[in-house]
C-alpha cells in the first residue's frame, strides 16, 4: 500500500484533499452531488489515466468537466444498483462517452436502465480499468442487484452499507431478510482493514474502515436475524 490521492468533492464542488493510504496506482475520487447526498466516484489507474464513473447522476456536466480537467479518460460506467438517484445521468454520460455500463444481471428489470451499452454481469465478475482489477460482489437487500466494487481493501459499497447505517429495504425489490444475509455473510466476512466508501453521505465521515463500523454501526451489531428485523429494520 502506498499513499495516493483521495479527493472528496462536496455538493458545492469544493475539493478537500484527504490524506490516506490507498492501493498503489489507484485513482479514487469521491463526489457528493444532488439533493439526496449521493456519493459518486471516479475509479481508475493513475498510470493510464483511465477511469470508471460509478453511479453517474445529477450533474453530468460537472463529472465530464472534472474528468477532463484531471486528464482522465472515461472508459467505463459501474452501477452499484438501478435506483434513479444513482443512474439518472447514465443516458447523458453515455451520449458523450460511448463506453460499457455494467450492472448486476440480478437487478430487478424495472430498475435496469434501457440502453444499448448496458452489460449485465454476475456475482464475482472481474472488471479492469487500466491495470487495476475490481471484483463485483453481489449484496442484495436494498435492491435485488445491489453490488459492491472491491479492489484490495477498498470497497465502493453503494447503498448496501452506509457509515453507521445501511440501505432501506422497504422499496420495491427490497428485503430486510436478504439484507441481513448480505451484511452478515458477505460484508462482515471482509477483512477489518477494508475501507468502506458508501453511496450517500449519511454519516459523520465520508468513509470508514470495516473495523470501526463493527463498533459503531448498529446494523452490524444484531445478534440474530430476528434481532436485526425487530430492532434494526
Taking the chain, what is the end-to-end CA distance rounded to the nearest angstrom?
Answer: 37
- The arrangement of strands across the sheet holding 73-78 comes to 15-17, 6-9, 26-33, 38-45, 50-54, 73-78, 101-104, 118-121
Question: Which residue has 480537467 as its cell numbers?
Answer: 69
pTM of structure: 0.91
Question: Which residue has 439526496 as its cell numbers?
Answer: 36
Under 8 Å between Cβ of 69 and 51: no
Closest residue by Cα to residue 213 from 178, 186, 188: 188
pLDDT along the chain (233 residues), means of 10: 45 44 92 95 97 97 96 98 97 97 98 97 98 98 98 97 96 96 98 96 95 97 95 71
**C-alpha neighbours within 13 Å on the C-beta side of residue 134:** 32
What's the rounded Cα separation, in Å, for the pair 106 and 121?
8
CA geometry: angle 139, 141, 147, nearest 5 deg = 30
Length of the chain counted residue by residue = 233
Domains, the chain, ordered by start: 2-232 (3.60.15.10)
pLDDT computed for residue 20 by the predictor: 64
Give me 31's grid cell: 463526489
What's the rounded Cα separation, in Å, for the pair 134 and 93?
21
pLDDT computed for residue 18 by the predictor: 44
Give me 225's grid cell: 436475524
pLDDT computed for residue 19 by the predictor: 45
List strand residue ranges (DSSP E) for the chain, in order.
2-4, 6-9, 15-17, 20-22, 26-33, 38-45, 50-54, 73-78, 101-104, 118-121, 126-129, 132-138, 147-151, 154-158, 161-162, 165-166, 195-198, 208-209
pLDDT computed for residue 21 by the predictor: 79
Amino acid at each position: 500500500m502506498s499513499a495516493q490521492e483521495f479527493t472528496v468533492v462536496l455538493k458545492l464542488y469544493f475539493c478537500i484533499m484527504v490524506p490516506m493510504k490507498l492501493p498503489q496506482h489507484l485513482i479514487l475520487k469521491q463526489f457528493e452531488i444532488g439533493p439526496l447526498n449521493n456519493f459518486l466516484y471516479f475509479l481508475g489507474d493513475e498510470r493510464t489515466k483511465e477511469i470508471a464513473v460509478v453511479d453517474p447522476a445529477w450533474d453530468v456536466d460537472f463529472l465530464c468537466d472534472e474528468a477532463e480537467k484531471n486528464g482522465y479518460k472515461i472508459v467505463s460506467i459501474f452501477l452499484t444498483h438501478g435506483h434513479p438517484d444513482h443512474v439518472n445521468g447514465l443516458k447523458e454520460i453515455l451520449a458523450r462517452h460511448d463506453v460499457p455500463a455494467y450492472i448486476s444481471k440480478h437487478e430487478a428489470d424495472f430498475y435496469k436502465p434501457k440502453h444499448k451499452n448496458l452489460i449485465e454481469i454476475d456475482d464475482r465478475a472481474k472488471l479492469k480499468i487500466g491495470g487495476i482489477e475490481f471484483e463485483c460482489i453481489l449484496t442484495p437487500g436494498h435492491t435485488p442487484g445491489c453490488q459492491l466494487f472491491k479492489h484490495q481493501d477498498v470497497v465502493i459499497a453503494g447503498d448496501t452499507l452506509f457509515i453507521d447505517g445501511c440501505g432501506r429495504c422497504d422499496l420495491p425489490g427490497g428485503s430486510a431478510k436478504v439484507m441481513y444475509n448480505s451484511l452478515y455473510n458477505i460484508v462482515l466476512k471482509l477483512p477489518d482493514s477494508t475501507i468502506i466508501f458508501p453511496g450517500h453521505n449519511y454519516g459523520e465521515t465520508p468513509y470508514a474502515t470495516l473495523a470501526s463500523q463493527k463498533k459503531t454501526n448498529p446494523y452490524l451489531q444484531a445478534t440474530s436475524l430476528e434481532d436485526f428485523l425487530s430492532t434494526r429494520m
